[in-house]
Amino acid sequence: MGKPTGFIEFQRELPGDRSPLARVHDWQEFHEHLPNYQLEEQASRCMDCGVPFCHTGTLIGGMASGCPVNNLIPEWNDLVYRGLWKEALERLHKTNNFPDFTGRVCPAPCEGSCVLGITDPPVTIKNIECSIVDKGFEAGWIVAKPPLKRTEKKVAVVGSGPAGLSCAAQLNHAGHRVTVYERADRIGGLLMYGIPNMKLDKSIVQRRVDLLTQEGVTFITNTAIGKDLSANKLRDDYDAMVLCCGATKPRDLSIDGRNLRGIHFAIEFLHGNTKHLLDHEFKGSPPISANGKHVIVIGGGDTGTDCVGTSMRHQCKSITQFEIMPQPPDERQPDNPWPEWPKVYRLDYGQEEAAARFGTDPRSYLIMTEKFIGDDNGHVKTLHTTNVEWAKDNNGRFFPKKIPGSEKTWPADLVLLAMGFLGPEDTILDELAIERDARSNAKAEEGLYATNAEGVFAAGDMRRGQSLVVWAINEGRAAARECDRYLMGTTLLP
């Protein structure tokens, strides 16, 4: 423990963000950076607890408590406090292949379970993590490290999102010949096309892909397994397969008017926008534009927030976000104690930008969409809602009960459905006859990651359902370990 009184001497301090009204005119990352001395002060607030919860990575109440990749947080906080940044980077990379991703997009469950957070604002773990890895790239400490020996075993990884990339990195470190297949035109999956550029700059993703390439991983794009290339042929050609295809089947809203033009899934909107930006060097108009439109986002999660932030950069006429759940409280409630993830009200970057421009948080809570109405050309024109309250049915299950007289009509030129995902697409799973769990995910026991198909493993959202980037990295690493054990009879992978 570097400074026993650090948590008493220094208050929690985060770098400022660029002005909301300024940053909506570009697609650059919006976070600023603290100078080294302030980061070292912030790291000194870590108490090196006798029983630290920040890196436990367990599920409590269905949500992450502590870091899912079990980052050695007290260790690298101490090293940062002492100015030993390179050593801190080495500790960070022991558990996390891509802290440059998680340091930007992770909601930081580690901070929610920080022991200091019981009585004071928690340690700024996420910001310190991002600073460590960014400094590592700036200083030239992060370089390609190809394996010293090759096993000549061949592994196919299907999907290049965070699970696929971490799995490929680990298997390559073990000396196997790894080929990653991606159906999109660029590598990165969710990291490339699901998360907007202002939240995760695509050059950050590409530099990791370039490093993996230099280390010997082969990437093949524009190839949909099960369509462009048979999954069974892939299985025959490789010694093992790891499926990391994500949970990409979006939840739909089957109500009157759903077939009207102008109603899109969020991922269609976000993917198309990022692809257009990269293809056209951040110029021109994307295939689905919010410019000058009344935009309604249905869904209150991270994807909904990204739709809000993207629409703001398109210069939308208005933006409204619907959430069927109640507004969270400002502070932890008795039924949500530490070290659970704190379910409290937050103003994320997209809502902050909307509030700065339009004067208020764009979210409406306890609201349900009833129907869409179109114009004479078959394009959505208005959206009809009713307010709800949560009640229990005769079996004790909660359901949204409509409140009579709360009906309302909203102008809507563009509607974005951001209600989450139902599970993986069927193509590969059906071809390989892989068993499903009750939620339609690939059935593979946690800790083993092996499916019922010989030599085929599954990891990430495809196995666990829609989740966090940090969980996907955890699963990709763990599946690589079990795949290596399958191939070699033993493994040294963590």
For the domain that residue 188 is a member of, what is the CATH number? Answer: 3.50.50.60
Flag the least confident range among 43-52, 182-191, 361-370.
43-52
Q: What is the mean pLDDT of the chain?
A: 96
pLDDT of residue 61: 81
- 128/64: higher pLDDT: 128
Is there a domain that residue 143 lies in? no
| Predicted pLDDT of residue 297 | 98
**Would you say residue 389 lies in a domain?**
yes
Bridge partners for 458 per DSSP:
243
In the predicted model, is pLDDT for residue 32 greater than 90?
Answer: no
- The DSSP element (H or E) to which 278 belongs, if any, is helix 266-279
* 389 CB-near residues (< 8 Å, 6+ apart): 366, 400, 401, 403
Q: Is 33 exposed, middle or buried (0-12, 13-18, 19+ CB in 10 A)?
A: middle
Output the DSSP codes for 433-474: T--B-TTSSB---TTT-B-SSTTEEE-THHHH-S--HHHHHH
Q: What is the pLDDT of residue 3?
A: 87
Residues facing 260 on adjacent strands: none
pLDDT digits (tens, 9 = 90+) for 334-385: 999 999 999 999 999 999 999 999 999 999 999 999 999 999 999 999 999 9
Return the structure tokens found at 305.
């927030």
Q: Predicted confidence band at 63 (pLDDT cuts at 50, 70, 90)? A: confident
Indicate the residue among 94, 113, 138 that finishes a domain: 138
Neighbour count for residue 422 (Cβ, 10 Å):
17
Q: How far is CA 177 from CA 356, 466, 491, in A?
A: 50, 29, 16
Out of 87, 110, 138, a domain closes at 138
Q: Are residues 124 and 12 in the same domain?
A: yes
Q: In this structure, are 282 and 239 located in the same domain? A: no
263, 412: one domain: yes
Full domain range(s) for residue 305: 252-419
**Which long-range contacts link 86-89 to residues 24+ away (Cβ below 8 Å)?**
86/136, 86/139, 86/141, 88/132, 89/132, 89/133, 89/135, 89/136, 89/141, 89/142
Q: Are 429 and 404 contained in the same domain?
A: no
Q: Return the pLDDT at 165.
A: 98
**Would you state the pLDDT for residue 409?**
98
User: Do residues 331 and 412 both lie within one domain?
Assistant: yes
Arithmetic mean of pLDDT, 144-155: 96
Q: Does 377 share its domain with 446?
A: no
Cβ atoms of residues 243 and 428 within 8 Å: yes
Residue 199 lies inside a defined structural domain of this protein:
yes
Q: Supply the pLDDT for residue 328.
A: 96
Please report, as a single letter, which amino acid is at residue 186: R
Instruction: Confirm whether 146 is domain-assigned.
Output: no
For residue 286, how many C-alpha atoms fall within 13 Å in the half-sphere facing its CB? Answer: 21
How many angstroms separate the CA atoms of 363 and 385, rounded? 14
Cα gap 466→441, rounded to integer Å? 10
* Distance in angstroms (rounded) separating the CA atoms of residues 221 and 224: 8
Domain check: are 93 and 13 in the same one?
yes
Q: Are residues 141 and 450 in contact, defined by beta-carbon separation less than 8 angstroms?
A: no
Helix axes 302-313, 349-358, angle to 10 degrees: 40
On the question of pLDDT at 211 being above 70, the answer is yes
Average pLDDT over every residue of 271-283? 96
pLDDT on residue 62: 82
**Given 419, 448, 470, which residue is the final one in a domain?**
419
How many domains, the chain?
A: 3
Give the global pTM: 0.95
Looking at the fold, whether 265 and 381 belong to one and the same domain comes out as yes
Element (H, E) at 181: strand 177-181
* pLDDT over 80 (residue 1): no
Mean pLDDT across 37-56? 92
Q: Are residues 294 and 351 in the same domain?
A: yes
Same domain, 338 and 219: no
Q: Is residue 145 in some structural domain?
A: no
At 48 the pLDDT is 78
Determine the Cα–Cα distance for residues 130 and 39; give it in Å rounded to an integer: 11
> With contact defined as beta carbons under 8 Å apart, do 98 and 471 qualify?
no
pLDDT tier at 29 (50, 70, 90 boundaries)? very high
DSSP 195: S
CATH at residue 78: 1.10.1060.10
Tokens 């004067």: give the residue: 359
Amino acid at the residue 370: E
pLDDT score recorded for residue 51: 85
Residues 262 and 237 in one domain: no
Q: Rounded CA gap, 92 and 103, in Å?
A: 11
Please give the pLDDT value at position 183: 97
Band of residue 169 on the pLDDT scale cut at 50, 70, 90: very high
Residue 2 has pLDDT above 80, yes or no: no
Residue by residue, DSSP assigns 287-336 as: SS--TTSEEEEE--SHHHHHHHHHHHHTT-SEEEEEESSPPPPSS--TTS
Over residues 449-460, mean pLDDT: 98
d(CA 209, CA 144): 11
Structure tokens at 474: 């955890």
- Tell me what pLDDT residue 305 has: 97
Consecutive H or E run containing 273: helix 266-279
Residues 399 and 440 in one domain: no
